Structures are given as structure tokens and as C-alpha cells.
Structure 1
């Protein structure tokens, strides 16, 4: 019997709530896996870095290169310490000084780096739902790719910074089957245990086939149940079993049964289950290909993945598009914006 979303939420909150309680405004920080392009700075001295940044912005003119060097050579946790030291030493907020001294996409990138990972995701979700229209692509990218722990941290940050409930805001800003998928993702209840249950994979594959290709119309809820709750490892086994039954790849099946944002959301889950780094490489490519640049997506992916899996993303980008990510960025951006993106991504 499938576990209800309420049961999943309760089970998830018990162990994780101890890890992610908020104390004095401190947020859970990204765990560096050693696969990021930005790593903690050896011999870090927060007071010294704060002083360097103050000198870079004091008086006439701004030393943008020094700012880039400092914020991209320290981990997110270290940047939070710099911000605290800066306020203690000078009675000024570092982010406000950045706001008055910098501009454009360069400023956006610096400000994004200065937020903890949960607060940055929360800010992007708020931006995506603010005002007229909705940036569904941003909602999909964040809600369908984060771990259970990351989702919970985002919800806490969202509540703290904006006073609202993320699930409620998602529910009011989206609708239909896409809205249901977003609410499901906001629970943070995906099974994350390792190991594959082959019999369950076969049953789920048959259930997906029966809910889509095998009948007239589509039972969207069955797709939601399976893709929203099973572990990525279990989903990969399910997709393999699906191909045996259908003779069609699960992505092709989803494209034939769904359309619009729900299709994009389900495909994102499939792609992340198979290769999350390749998914983000594709997001970066799409943000820069053709005329114009989707700077919101470019900044969001680069900043949110730089301490998690940027090295794998770079590898996948090279494999998929036969060009280094750094070269693609260099060809598509300019000025200090280009410099900071390249400093984050690395060679």
C-alpha cells in the first residue's frame, strides 16, 4: 500500500527536525561533498576577509576584482562568517554595501553567493511566484531536484524570510496536475533509502503503463504517486522495467501522455533520477544557447551547484556539447559578470 503524503511528512520531520532547527537566525548550510568547484578556504580568517571587502568598497570607486576573489574563494559557510564579522566590525550590512556599490547581473550573482543555500532557493521560489505570472521553470528546477533535507530547509527559510507557508503559496500559484506535483514535492517525502526492490519496480512499471499507454486518457495521479515518492535508484529500475513492457522509453511515454508544465516537471524527475549532473548541464546550455541569455537560470544553477556537484556538471557539459562550460559562459557573458561566473565555475 502506498504511503500517504501525511505519513511521509511525519516520518521525515522526526529525524530531520533535530538537524534543521533554527537557532538565532542560523540556517543549515550546504555539506561540501568534495565535488564542488568552490571549497572551504584553507587558513580562513573572517575578520581579515571582511576588512579586505571594506577596503574594496571604501572611498571612490570599487575594486570589483577583489570582491570576486574573496566571495569565490570561500565556502558559503565562510561567507556567512564574513558577513557577520563585517557587521560587527563596521556596523554596516555587507549585502547592503554590495547593493550600493555593484549593479546588474554582477550584483545579483554576488548577492546570491551571500545567501545560505536554503535562503537562496527560498528567494528564487518567492521571485518565481511574485507578481503577475509565474516562473514555472524555476519552480520545477528547485522543487523537483532538491533532497528531502534541502526541501525542509527551504521551507524553514521561506517561512522565516517571507512569513508564509511554501506549500500554501505553491498551491495558490499553481493549478491542476502540475500544482499537485509541486505540493507533493514540497512535502520532502521521497524515499531516499539505498537498494532496489525489483518486484516493486516491475509492479510500478506495469502501473505506469496501465495508467498511460494502455488506456484511453491518462491516470495522472498514478504517475504522481510513483515519481514523487520512489527513490531515484528505485525509479531507474522502474524505468528499465517500463521499457521492457512498453518497448518505449519512459521519457517518450511521458511526452505522449502529458503536456505543459506537468510534462516538464515529470521529465525533470526522470532526468534527475538518471543523471542529475546531466540535467543541470542541460539547464545551463539552454540558458545560454541562441539569442539572449536567461540570466536568472544561469545564476541560479551556477550558484546553487557550485559547492555540490559542479565538477560533474562540467564533465557532463563537455560530454554532451563538446565544449567546456567555462568557454560557453565566456562567449555568452561579459565584464565583471563573466569574471565572477568563471571564478565560480573554474576551469
Structure 2
């Protein structure tokens, strides 16, 4: 089991909307939360104000202080806490593949290593071994390559090599009858992000189609979804998450799980950039979309995480 807190804590960034609070006092915050939660009803305003202005690491310290002060249930299970914290999710239940694709397509080697460490600490199981038992086929091969967290991290780009990889991808898909998925997996899941950015450009020059279009035309199912997500993240991780947020609020009903997971997990990393991409892609701000789609305490909480308008 992995909590949203753990996912959020994997790596901070300069483009997050939530920063560590100066002059932080975990015991003082725990006392304020206890007062807000105890008694008749919960003072959601105080709960939201505290939890959306503290970093993930600070929230974990508040949790420990709360448990120490009250000697009772975990703070995450108290009334009102679900306003911010994603409930513990089973990796392999329900929408598992959607979540796995989102995570492994978008995280850096460093983030994946941290994720694996947290997963082992909480479950006493190796993440790759757990994944191997649950997924299969070419999708499994691609996902496990990403989960190893060993993508090439070189920053230099050799245009000729990028062109060679683009030709390899073209020959493995568009140019032949059937598709050699192994070539797509090998290149997209192991080569460096700067190299793949150039490969995407070279592919369009060779094929006349975008790499995403070719993957969508040549593949299907979870493998297609994973490799398309990788290509989108190669182009722009904030753009990828902006698209997922838009999808979560599009049409009738709201995918609250996806919306909350992304808002919390990116709040200390790049939510400011996601907001900018959202405005560029859809012509209105992320905050305005949240206001239109949510209501009540959940709306107030997600608005606070969003951190402002654009």
C-alpha cells in the first residue's frame, strides 16, 4: 500500500505551489488540528488552512505529533483529513494500470528509486517483483524497464544517433507489416529524455506522422497507453499532467481520484508549470476549472492546493 503522502514526498521542486512553512511547529499544528476535529463537527477551514500550507514532510511530522498527543487513531483517518490526503491505494486494484502508467511514464530515475524505497519500507516487498507478478506481455517488459529507474541520464544529444533511432522505430512500425514492439520498448524506455526529444523530431521528418500517431496506429491496450504517455512526457511532463487534469474534469462527473492524486503529488514539484500548460492548452485557468467542477470542502481544499489563478 502506498499513500498519496508518500508519492508526494518523493521529490520536491522549485515550481510547486506548496512550500515548507517557516517557523514550523508540528506540536502546535497537531494541537490546532485536534481542536478543529474534536467536538461537534469538524472545523474544515482550519484543517484545510493547515494542511495546504505545510510541505509533505511537515505533514508527516504533524501526523506523528498528533498520534503522540492523542494516543488514538492515525490522524489520516480522522474526520476532515481526507480533504487533503489521498486514501491509501492498492496498487493492484481497480484502475491499477492507469495509475501505474501515470507514475512510471512521468518520473525520473531519482523519483522512481525513492518510490521503490518507500514501497519496500511499507510492504517489505520489492516493487519490481510485485509488478512482475501482476502484469504480463510487452506491457510488462516496458513497465519493468521504467520501474528499474535506469534510464540514460546523459544530457548531450547526437542528432545522427537520434535520427538512427527514429529510422529504427519507423522500420519497426510504419514501414513493415506488423510491429516489432521490442524496438519501441528498448528505445522509449531506456534512452535519455533529451535524446528522445530529438528522436521525436527526426521521426516526424522521416515518417510524416508524429511518433504518438504511429504508436496509436500500430499498438493497442496498456502497451499503447504506456508508450504514448512516455512520448507525451518526453515532450512536456507538465503538459501531460495538464491533459490528465482536464480529462478528469471533462464531461459528466469528475474523476476525483485522478484529480486529487495529481494535485497532491505535483503540489511540491511542478504544479505552477502544470497550471501554465493548462491555461495554454485549454484557454482557461486550472483554478476556474476546479471551481466549476467541484463544490464544498473538497473544492476549497483543491483550490488551496492549486495556489492561485492564471
Shift of 1:111: 2.6
**Which residue does 1:47 correspond to in 2?**
27
Unpaired segments of 5 or more residues in structure 2? 1-5
**Cα distance in 2 for residues equivalent to 1:288 and 1:134:** 17
Secondary structure of the residue that 1:316 maps to in structure 2? helix
Which of 279, 285, 289 is the matching residue for 1:328? 289
Question: RMSD over aligned Cα, in angstroms?
Answer: 2.0
**Which residue does 2:117 correspond to in 1?**
156
**Which residue does 1:18 correspond to in 2?**
none
Matches within 5 A, 1:261-300: 261-300=222-261
Size of the alignment, in residue pairs?
303
TM-aligned CA distance change 1:137 to 1:29, over 3 Å: closer
**Cα distance in 2 for residues equivalent to 1:281 and 1:27:** 18
Structure 2 contact 105–229 (Cα < 8 Å) conserved: yes
**Cα distance in 2 for residues equivalent to 1:288 and 1:328:** 8
Matches within 5 A, 1:136-215: 136-215=97-176
Structure 1 contact 326–342 (Cα < 8 Å) conserved: yes
Unpaired segments of 5 or more residues in structure 1? 1-25, 113-119
Which of 216, 232, 242 is the matching residue for 2:203? 242
**Which residue does 2:55 correspond to in 1?**
75
**Cα distance in 1 for residues equivalent to 2:303 and 2:153:** 33
Instruction: Choose between structure 1 and 2 for higher RCO, CA contacts under 8 A separated by at least 6 residues.
Output: 2
The alignment's TM-score, normalised by the length of structure 2, stands at: 0.92
Shift of 1:256: 1.2
**Cα distance in 1 for residues equivalent to 2:286 and 2:8:** 29
Shift of 1:28: 10
Deviating more after overlay: 311-320 vs 148-157: 148-157
**Cα distance in 2 for residues equivalent to 1:298 and 1:108:** 14
The alignment's TM-score, normalised by the length of structure 1, stands at: 0.82
Moved over 3 A (4+): 26-32
Shift of 1:86: 2.1
Shift of 1:164: 2.7
Structure 1 contact 109–299 (Cα < 8 Å) conserved: no
